[in-house]
Every structure is written in C-alpha cells, then in structure tokens.
C-alpha cells in the first residue's frame, strides 16, 4: 500500500474535524444541562463570589469588580481534564480502497472510513465528559479514576447537603418519607431564592429505578396518597418508569453508577447553574479555542499506517453547590 494515499483530502485535518463534528451521537440528558463556557487556559481559578462560585483566569484575581476581595486568597487553582484518544488506520483497512480505480468512489470510501474513526473519537470524548458531569451534579468533580479534582463545597465553604431516607430493608422503616422529601424540596427552593435565583421551575432528582420503586412503595408514601391514588401512581410508573413526581420532587430514572443508588438532587430552571469549561488545545497551533476537540495525525514508521489523535480539555462545575443534595438510603 503506497503511503501517498494518506495525502488524500479525506485525511486532512479539516475533513477529520468535519467528520468528528458530524458524527452521530446521542448525548445523555445530563450533558445537555451543562452550558459550554470557553476559557483561555487549562488552569483556572475557582473563587468564592458572594454566595456562588466564579471562574477566573489566574491573572484576574483581585482585579474583577464582582469578586469579594476577602476571598481572593482562598481562590483554588484547578486544572481542567485533558482527554486524549488515539486510533489507527492500518494497511488492512485500505487494501480494498487502494485497489479502486474510480477516484470518486475511492473518495467516498475513504470519507466513510474516516467518519467511522471519528465517530469512535466523539463517543469516547462524550463518554468521559458525561462521567465527569455526573460527579459535578454532586459538587465533587472527579476524573475517571475517582480522584476528586475539585471539591466545590470546600471552595464555597458550605456543607454538603445529604438526605438519608432510611427506607428499611423490607419496608419496615417508620420514617415519614413524604415529609423528608417535601423538606428537601422546600430547603432547595429556599436556598435558591436566598442566593438570588428568582426563577425556579421545580426540583429534580436523578436516581436509579430500584430506588424510586422503594420510595414509591414505602408505607408512609401509601398512607400519604391513600390506597386508591397510590395504586394508580404505581401503575403509572410501571407503564412509564422514566420519571415520577413524588411529594414535590421529580424523580428521574437514571442508572449511571454515580447516581443509581445515591441520587443527585438539584433545582431546575436556574440559569447558568451548571457549566462545562472548555480550554483550547495545549499545542503550539492556534485557533483551537472554539473546538470541542483538537485533532492531529501522524504517519507511522515503516509504512504501517496513520495514527489519529484527538484531545479535548474541559471541566464541569456547579456554580452554586449549596443547591445540591444527595439522596440515598442507608438501609
């Protein structure tokens, strides 16, 4: 296979980037909650600003009019995640394409091959972004190894809110679950208003289906709704197990490991609560600040193929972690 085939337009950085951007991918709803916010550097300063968190570049500390000067010394430098992903196009992938004489057909086949590789790249980057986004829903941003990169509660100097429903192993708990759920919703809305969030559409909790069923079947929930209405609600959830409103909180079924047993609760309708910081590629090439991923290629030695590397640098955060609450059952 002649190495000149990699000089084809299909392998240009423009084509690779286009293939990445156009690759089909269904993002989990949680990723759509995070508004993308470009930043200039891979390292940012997370600093307390009144009752919320603000993101600054290192040189901006003490110069921004909205920052409480007394908290400037407590600003925490945080490195954004750097996600690299590699794939390789080897001679075997190109044997049939190389034998084609029709230039148009060859171009189509090469474009299809490139797009299949870029689909893998996009899926990998989105997967890692989703994983970190789930941890940000609980206020402690972790990497894939489970290492806490940034504890937002410590930066804002607020305690983490948790709620142990104590459902019991065999529905033998005497806890008043309706009151506990109502109190979570009430406290969340109260804090949100105190922090200046005037538009609140509700309170949501992402948690596993088994946990929702345990909550819904608890005897105190049955007593709260009454036998007839409770039976209808159980049937409704069995027909559509994607979500159900229980005592003022919308429980959304989510089986991600981070929330399946210990759910993430937060207010909905609050603008800019979650952000996905995105930094430009850490390379010498300019003009990468608006790209989700920066892509490079390298021909392998001994005519063994082409290496493709994509890199993305980002960090999910919650600007007001005091609004978050972890819901679980210890028994």
Phi-psi region of 196 (alpha: psi -120 to 50; beta: other; left: phi over 0): left
Residues of the chain with CATH 3.15.30: 3-151+273-317
Q: What is the pLDDT of residue 213?
A: 96
Q: Which residue bears the tokens 């937002």?
A: 152
CA Rg value for the chain: 25
What does the pLDDT look like over 256-302, one tens digit per residue? 999 999 999 999 999 889 999 988 876 655 455 556 788 888 888 88
pTM (2 d.p.): 0.84
Say which CATH topology domain 3-151+273-317 has: putative capsid protein of prophage fold (3.15.30)
Q: Does the CA dihedral 138-143-145-148 come out positive or negative?
A: negative
In sequence order, what are the residues at sequence separation of 6 or more whose Cβ sits closer than 8 angstroms to the Cβ of residue 171?
217, 218, 219
Task: Please state the rounded mean pLDDT for residues 89-96.
Answer: 81
Segment among 11-20, 61-70, 135-144 with least mean pLDDT: 61-70
What does the pLDDT look like over 114-153, one tens digit per residue? 888 999 998 888 888 888 999 999 999 988 788 888 899 9
What is the end-to-end Cα distance of the chain in Å, rounded? 63
Instruction: Tell me the sheet residues that pair with 44.
Output: 78
Q: Which residue bears the tokens 């922090």?
A: 195
What does the pLDDT look like over 94-111, one tens digit per residue? 877 777 777 888 888 888
CA dihedral of 12, 17, 20, 22, whole degrees rounded to 10: -100
Q: What is the pLDDT of residue 239?
A: 96
DSSP secondary structure, 27-84, as one string: --HHHHTSEEEE-SSSEEEEEEETTEEEEE-GGGTTT-TTS-GGGGGG-EEEEPEEEE
Separation between Cα atoms, residue 247 and residue 216, nearest integer Å = 10
| DSSP strand pairing (249-253 vs 294-299) | unpaired
Q: What is the pLDDT of residue 70?
A: 47
Contact between 52 and 319 under an 8 Å Cβ cutoff? The reply is: yes
């Amino acid at each position: 296979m002649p190495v000149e085939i990699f000089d084809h337009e299909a392998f240009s950085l423009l084509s690779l980037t286009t293939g990445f951007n156009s690759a089909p991918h269904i993002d989990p709803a949680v990723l759509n909650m995070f508004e993308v916010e470009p930043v200039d550097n891979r390292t940012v300063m997370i600093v307390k600003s009144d009752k919320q968190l603000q993101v600054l570049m290192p040189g901006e500390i003490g110069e921004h009019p909205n920052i409480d000067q007394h908290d400037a010394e407590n600003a925490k430098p945080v490195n954004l995640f750097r996600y690299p992903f590699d794939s390789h196009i080897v001679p075997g992938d190109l044997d049939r394409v190389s034998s084609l004489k029709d230039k148009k057909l060859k171009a189509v086949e090469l474009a299809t091959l490139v797009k299949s590789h870029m689909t893998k790249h996009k899926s990998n980057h989105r997967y890692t972004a989703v994983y970190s986004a789930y941890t940000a829903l609980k206020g402690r941003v972790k990497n894939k190894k489970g290492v806490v990169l940034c504890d937002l509660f410590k930066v804002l100097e607020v305690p983490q809110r948790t709620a142990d429903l104590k459902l019991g192993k065999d529905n033998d708990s005497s806890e008043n679950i309706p009151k506990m759920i109502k109190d979570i919703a009430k406290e969340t809305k109260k804090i949100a208003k105190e922090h200046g969030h005037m538009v609140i559409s509700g309170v949501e909790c992402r948690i596993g289906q088994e946990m929702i069923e345990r909550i819904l079947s608890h005897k105190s929930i049955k007593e709260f709704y009454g036998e007839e209405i409770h039976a209808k609600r159980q049937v409704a959830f069995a027909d559509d197990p994607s979500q159900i409103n229980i005592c003022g909180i919308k429980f959304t079924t989510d089986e991600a490991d981070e929330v399946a047993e210990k759910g993430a609760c937060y207010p909905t309708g609050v603008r800019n609560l979650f952000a996905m910081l995105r930094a430009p590629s850490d390379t010498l090439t300019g003009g990468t600040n608006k790209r989700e991923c920066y892509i490079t290629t390298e021909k392998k030695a001994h005519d063994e193929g082409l290496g493709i590397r994509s890199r993305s640098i980002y960090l999910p955060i919650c600007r007001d972690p005091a609004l978050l609450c972890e819901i679980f059952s210890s028994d």
